[in-house]
Amino acid sequence: MSNARNAHVEKWVKEVAEMTQPDAIEWCDGSEEERERLTQLAVDQGVLTPLNQEKRPGCYLHRSDPRDVARVEHLTFICTREERDAGPTNNWMAPKEAYDKLGGLFSGCMKGRTMYVVPYAMGPIGSPMTKIGIEITDSVYVVLNMRIMARMGAQALEMLGDSDDFNRGLHSTLDLDPEKRFICHFPEDNTIWSCGSGYGGNVLLGKKCLALRIGSYLGKTEGWFAEHMLILGVESPEGEKSYVAAAFPSACGKTNFAMMIPPDEFKGWKITTVGDDIAWMRVGDDGRLWAINPENGYFGVAPGTSNKSNPNALKCVEKNTLFTNVATTPDGDVWWEGMDGDVPEELTDWRGNPWKKGSKEKAAHPNSRFTAPMQNNPVLDDAVDDPRGVPISAIIFGGRRSTTVPLVLESFNWAHGVYLGATMGSETTAAATGKVGVVRRDPMAMLPFCGYNVGDYFAHWLSMQSKIARPPRIFQVNWFRQDADGKFMWPGFGENMRVLKWIIDRAEGRVGARETPLGWVPDEGQIDTQGLDLSPEAMRQLTEIDPAAWKAEFELQDELFDKVADSMPAALKLQRELFLSRL
């Protein structure tokens, strides 16, 4: 494919080429020939290193610049005409200022480089929910990742047809200087400009930039939801199938939950994955909420992935996978902290330096990742390519909290559920640069991803209630409560099935519950702990609601209510009053 037929695309590509002045322009078609050729080019350029092809066919390692290993929230901007529309939780830059500033950086930046034009679809081809994006990039690593993460190439251009309705994404690594790193979103222009980074969420523009930041803006405008949520299917031994969507902040367990294998005590229960990071949800003709996964692959956290925690993720990365910033073994295989078996005596660490067992440094970067095609997933749900999506029975919000927040609870109603999601706190992780382990408010796990005023976002959530005749129930979970010695009290991973079963039973109206000031919680014995090494006392602590701790939590929520004061919907302020009076 040497020529695009779409005149709007051609015009824009020409404009960008005039600004960036590449030596060559390559239109990506997504073919196998193209994958092989660009992979070889990346190997020749030292961008990729082949791994042991017998052990991991089609797998390669990428080491990013050590200063470029995570999302950069302080360099991420929402560029709306009015500052108010970006809201109090986003960095704002005026569109003109951003276009001028980044335009200066982009000017001539592709001299001596090839400019790749990457058309892609977010969502199943032909789905009314699917959006088309085109990413222009000078990074062959981005092209190879995009072809795993999205439905990329000719199929996307074909779906676009003659339309002008596509996201214009422009990316250049420049020289990877952190001083020249900016991730700018122009929701009003359906445009993204990203420069100075080569890492994940900063540069795979279909993912966080389009599917969440621009997506959430489109969702508000068009009446749907773009959320940082996994989607999974649960089938009971009787063959009843339900779907749930769950929002956990970055590196807080979405991939793990989306692929989990139920414990032996749950014979006959089956979990299938629709998506592990992003859900787009709209109201169906039947009044239910229907969800698609706009992505086509997994950009998953490597450390902690083992046969014990997530065997299905390990199967996903057996072939045709790109690894970023993991460690390697002497025989050219991958390694990371938390992998099964003994720690190898010697490794090459994520920076490419020799590493010896017992070293205080981590061998793999804590935010090292794999990019794997979703077709590798042994428990991939049958409906992933269904243009209608799947009907959602329950929405789950979950943070990483070592104290205070109980294992599971159910909201009293939609508005209360929105309040639970909006006020959620979570400890920060390595997925973004900055300090790790600090509790911050992370509304709906969308703090870094909401592309407009977060108060308007809450209002959107509240207003959708009247449009969803058969709304999913809303739950909150916490897998991360710790004991006095700092050990996780709940076994987590596959054992989360025990909590999920209660959630499904509640959502389908099969069981009762106990009322507390916070919401409905499982009655004693409703969470099956058979076969777990968990004392009744530990279970009591995990599900305990301590009024003193919740008074303190309530104060912490002020941080959010103060910050968002100007745009906070009255209905959430009311929820807050109701909660305080119940407490």
CB under 6 A: which stretch of 111-119, 248-256, 261-269, 387-395 binds ligand GTP?
A: 248-256
Query: Any contact of residue 253 with ligand SPV (CB under 6 A)?
Result: no
CB under 6 A: which stretch of 34-42, 131-139, 201-209, 419-427 binds ligand SPV?
A: 201-209
Query: Any contact of residue 443 with ligand SPV (CB under 6 A)?
Result: no
CB under 6 A: which stretch of 252-260, 374-382, 510-518, 551-559 binds ligand GTP?
A: 252-260
Binding mask 262-291 for ligand SPV (x = CB under 6 A): ---------------x--------------
Binding ligand GTP by CB under 6 A: which of 109, 301, 339, 424? Answer: 301
DSSP string, 223-255: T-EEESEEEEEEE-TT--EEEEEEE--TTSSHH
Contact of 424 with 445, CB cutoff 8 Å = yes
Query: Any contact of residue 201 with ligand SPV (CB under 6 A)?
Result: yes
Query: Any contact of residue 317 with ligand GTP (CB under 6 A)?
Result: no
Binding ligand GTP by CB under 6 A: which of 256, 325, 377, 428? Answer: 256
Q: Find the residue with minimal CB distance to ligand GTP.
A: 492
Contact of 421 with 534, CB cutoff 8 Å = no
C-alpha span between 500 and 520 (Å, rounded): 15
C-alpha span between 225 and 255 (Å, rounded): 20
Query: Any contact of residue 248 with ligand GTP (CB under 6 A)?
Result: yes
Compute the least distance from the CB of residue 250 to ligand SPV, in Å: 3
Query: Any contact of residue 277 with Mn ion (CB under 5 A)?
Result: yes
Within 13 A of 488's CA, how many CA atoms are on the CB side? Answer: 11
Query: Any contact of residue 381 with Mn ion (CB under 5 A)?
Result: no
Of the candidates 445, 458, 317, 301, the one whose C-alpha atom is nearest the C-alpha of residue 375 is 317
Q: Is 104 helix (H, G, I), strand (E, B) or coil?
A: helix
Which of the listed partners (ligand GTP, Mn ion, ligand SPV, none) does 253 bind, with a CB threshold of 5 to 8 Å by partner kind? ligand GTP
Query: Any contact of residue 200 with ligand SPV (CB under 6 A)?
Result: yes
Compute the least distance from the CB of residue 213 to Mn ion, in Å: 12
Residue 555 phi/psi, 5-degree rounding, is: -65, -40
Q: Is 124 helix (H, G, I), strand (E, B) or coil?
A: coil
Binding mask 250-269 for Mn ion (x = CB under 5 A): x-------------------
Of the candidates 378, 580, 581, 400, the one whose C-alpha atom is nearest the C-alpha of residue 490 is 400
Which residue, 204 or 301, is less far from ligand GTP as judged by CB? Answer: 301
DSSP state of 222: H
Query: Any contact of residue 492 with ligand GTP (CB under 6 A)?
Result: yes
79 has catalytic annotation: no
Contact of 302 with 336, CB cutoff 8 Å = yes
- Whole-angstrom CA distances from 364 to 198, 202, 301, 316, 352 are 18, 20, 11, 19, 10
Residue 273 phi/psi, 5-degree rounding, is: -100, 125
C-alpha span between 362 and 351 (Å, rounded): 10
The residues assigned a catalytic role are 252
* Residues engaged in binding ligand SPV (CB under 6 A): 71, 200-201, 207-208, 250, 277, 299, 431
* Residues engaged in binding ligand GTP (CB under 6 A): 248, 250-256, 276-277, 300-301, 303-304, 309, 431, 479-480, 488, 492-493, 496
